[in-house]
Chains A and B, each alone.
Chain A
Amino acid sequence: MTTDTAPALGGRRAALPRLVSDYGVYAAVLVLLAYNAVFTPYFLDAGNLRTQLVQAAPIVIVALGMALVIGSEGIDLSVGSVMALAAAVIPLYLGFGMWPAVLMALLAGIAAGLFNGTLVAVVGLQPIVATLALLVAGRGLALVFAGGQLKQLHNPELLALGDGELAGVPVIVLAAAGLTLATAILVGRTTYGRQLVAVGGNRPAAVLAGLPVRRILITAYVLCGLFAAVAGVFATARLTASDPSAIGNLAELSAITAVVVGGTPLTGGRVRVLGTVAGAMLMQLVRATLIKHDLPDSAAQMAQAAIILVAVYVARERRTR
């Protein structure tokens, strides 16, 4: 269910590039899967597939929130720091049990989103600058909360979030799938989704149409912060430690990459939920493929760079400023 509410894209665009830009990412995922199935030993092993999914899940979750914000013609650079913030908050409240701790971590994400959203929607800052501030300050704040230290966590309930399973599927993968479904419904089937895309497509027009633009934008950033916090909680549980200096490092870049590779244009007005998930899976598969064929991390990074460029080149619209 790709939710397309494309603004008038200019009919001059030929059918083929359009097809490539809309479905290229799924094709790329399939090609990589097929390649690995044939050439990589033990790739189709259940254990390996499971690892790939578990590793991609946090980025999928962050990227879903990012897709909402990018659809509103914004960007959120602070997601990595928000993950760290959520990770730092957990041990502070873990004494009260798992749920209060997780709740506080999620609240921290919501607060961060409120902050970003207010700066963007009410004060009128550019999203890059507004969220850059929290990118810089957020991780610092997280480290201050944590006293600059890694804290081992021993709460079994919390750790179960990281390595537990439900009916053989890791909890974290289920969470990512659930959030994907929720986001797809939000974007495709609710008024809010329509409004978000309208604001992203043409903000002055949305204002004139009487949409509550500020509230819509703030909600998008709040959701993005919340999703980042969820990812932070899962990453912490998987690490079995709260490590604000490492968790979520450069997550903003991975998330933006996933969204962009998935076909959501940076110019807003369109949110592709499944494409985003496929984008995140593609980047994960590329990395895994290179690693399994003994290519170093440096090659993986350069491949990632090339993929980003190709994806955006294919998807670019006639007029990007």
Chain B
Amino acid sequence: MITDSVAVPTTVRPGRATRAERLASLSQRHGALTMLALALIAASVTFESFATAENLAGIAIQSSFVAVIALGMTFVIIGGGIDLSVGAVFALAGVLAAFGSRWGPVTALLLPLGAGALIGLVQGVLIARTGMAPFIVTLAGLLAARGLMLALTTEGAETPLVPRGSGFLGLGRGVFLGLGVPVWIAIVLCGLGAVLLRRTRYGQFLFAVGGNEDAAGLMGVPVTRVKVVTYALSGLLAALAGMLNAARLGSGVTILGVGMELDVIAAVVIGGTLLVGGAGAVGGTVCGVLILGVIQNVVNQIGTLTSSVQSVVSGAFLVVAVVAQTYLSRAGRAR
């Protein structure tokens, strides 16, 4: 990471903690969940139309794409990095999926996923091998992916369509047990992600790399490989989200994904993952994504408000969340 101010806590997983430390770490870990619960309660009390199955399913599907990307971003940030390219990869994958769908659903799946994983892989190699700042490498990745997408669509003037009746559309539009297929995919992936992070060797390595890269390297953690895998995973997940979105819309929309990386990072940070690396959880990220989803939905419900109010509220939320986090983690460290 580039920004590394004075002594910031690198880990919030207490070994043997005092009560104050436990309390701080508890509220830090479940702060996002609490905020989500409060937001849900406030919204359902204020708006009759909020707590309907239809509306909640709408929030779920809107959030599912962001959640899939945020999952990858959580991994990257825990590893002490950042991935600014996800919004551009999301858009590129949507275009590639729609493009590939003319040759059948298989190409529609493989083309974007392959491209996303490849972009992530290249970024990961550049970051891990040359020691360039992740911020810069993925900024270049953002520009490259968006340029590639524009080149494919004659400067964004073309919108590739998924052929009518293609089986690929079911991936985005299908409904299973009342929830859209993308929602189920997001749920399964986040479950798998949590297991990967908490229960596997790779997950432990990732925490070690994010906590202290040098120490991890000295302990024998394959730092380079862990980083490369993490960025490849982030690219793959961003591409998957873009592909699902294309399946839902039935086309590869070129104007999507601008600034999306920032929404995703905001969701991850609100979810309690520290940007300095070495701490974080998938559950928190999901809560963070849902909080932003609820805010968006509420602003839409009010109707007279524009989407600009939504970004003001989201930004304010972000400040409150990180300031609270900072003080909590300081309290946790205090003794």
Distance, CA A95 to CA B126, complexed state (A): 53
In B271-325, which residues have CB < 8 Å from any A CB?
275-276, 306-312, 314-316, 318-319, 322-323
Of the four ranges (under 10, 10 to 19, 20 to 34, 35 or more), the interface on chain A belongs to 35 or more
Given contacts A133-B318, A133-B319, A140-B315, contact A75 B2 (CB under 8 A): yes
In A284-304, which residues have CB < 8 Å from any B CB?
296-302, 304
Distance, CA A141 to CA B151, complexed state (A): 34
SS class, residues of chain B in contact with chain A: helix
In B97-156, which residues have CB < 8 Å from any A CB?
126, 130-133, 135-137, 139-144, 146-151, 155
Contact in complex: A301, B326 (CB < 8 Å)? no
Distance, CA A77 to CA B82, complexed state (A): 14
Contact in complex: A320, B311 (CB < 8 Å)? no
Task: Tell me if B48 counts as interface (CB < 8 A to partner A).
Answer: no
Contact in complex: A133, B143 (CB < 8 Å)? no
Contact in complex: A125, B308 (CB < 8 Å)? no
Contacts of B233 in A (CB 8 A): none
Contacts of B69 in A (CB 8 A): none
Contact in complex: B319, A148 (CB < 8 Å)? no
Given contacts A136-B314, A136-B318, A321-B80, contact A125 B323 (CB under 8 A): yes
Interface centre among A128, A204, A299 (most CB of B within 10 A): A128
Contacts of B6 in A (CB 8 A): 124, 203-204, 207
Distance, CA A103 to CA B139, complexed state (A): 34
Q: Mark B82-104, 1 if CB is under 8 A from A, else 0.
A: 10000000000000000000000
Contacts of B309 in A (CB 8 A): 140, 144
Given contacts A123-B323, A139-B308, contact A316 B1 (CB under 8 A): no
Task: Tell me if B8 counts as interface (CB < 8 A to partner A).
Answer: yes
Q: What is the CB-to-nearest-CB distance from B28 to chain A, in angstroms, rounded to a whole number?
A: 15
Q: What is the CB-to-nearest-CB distance from B123 to chain A, in angstroms, rounded to a whole number?
A: 10
Stretch at the interface among A46-54, A270-278, A305-313: A305-313
Contacts of B82 in A (CB 8 A): 128
Contacts of B147 in A (CB 8 A): 297-302, 305
Contact in complex: B315, A298 (CB < 8 Å)? no
Contact in complex: B315, A308 (CB < 8 Å)? no
B3 in complex: contacting residue of A126, A207, A316, CB < 8 Å: A126
Given contacts A73-B4, A136-B318, A309-B137, contact A297 B155 (CB under 8 A): yes
Contact in complex: B8, A144 (CB < 8 Å)? no
A119 in complex: contacting residue of B139, B148, B314, B319, CB < 8 Å: B319
Contact in complex: B136, A296 (CB < 8 Å)? no
Distance, CA A304 to CA B314, complexed state (A): 31
Contact in complex: B262, A135 (CB < 8 Å)? yes
Task: Tell me if A174 counts as interface (CB < 8 A to partner B).
Answer: no
Q: What is the CB-to-nearest-CB distance from A250 to chain B, in angstroms, rounded to a whole number?
A: 8
Task: Tell me if B21 counts as interface (CB < 8 A to partner A).
Answer: no
Distance, CA A77 to CA B144, complexed state (A): 20
Task: Tell me if A219 counts as interface (CB < 8 A to partner B).
Answer: no
Contacts of A128 in B (CB 8 A): 2-3, 82, 135, 275
Task: Tell me if B68 counts as interface (CB < 8 A to partner A).
Answer: no
B130 in complex: contacting residue of A125, A138, A203, A313, CB < 8 Å: A313
Contact in complex: B3, A297 (CB < 8 Å)? no
Distance, CA A125 to CA B275, complexed state (A): 10
Contact in complex: A312, B315 (CB < 8 Å)? no
A148 in complex: contacting residue of B308, B314, B330, CB < 8 Å: B308
Distance, CA A267 to CA B135, complexed state (A): 12
Contact in complex: A136, B140 (CB < 8 Å)? no
Contacts of A59 in B (CB 8 A): none
Task: Tell me if A60 counts as interface (CB < 8 A to partner B).
Answer: no
Contact in complex: B148, A134 (CB < 8 Å)? no
Q: Which chain A residue shows the least CB distance to B323?
A: A123
Interface centre among B130, B150, B213, B308 (most CB of A within 10 A): B308
Task: Tell me if B265 counts as interface (CB < 8 A to partner A).
Answer: yes
What are 8 residue pairs bridging A and B, where the CB atoms are less than 8 Å apart in the complex? A77-B262, A126-B5, A127-B5, A129-B318, A140-B315, A267-B2, A305-B144, A318-B131
Kindly list 10 other residue pairs between chains A and B, CB separation below 8 angstroms, not including A133-B266, A144-B306, A267-B2. A123-B323, A125-B322, A132-B262, A133-B319, A140-B311, A296-B150, A297-B150, A299-B151, A305-B144, A306-B140
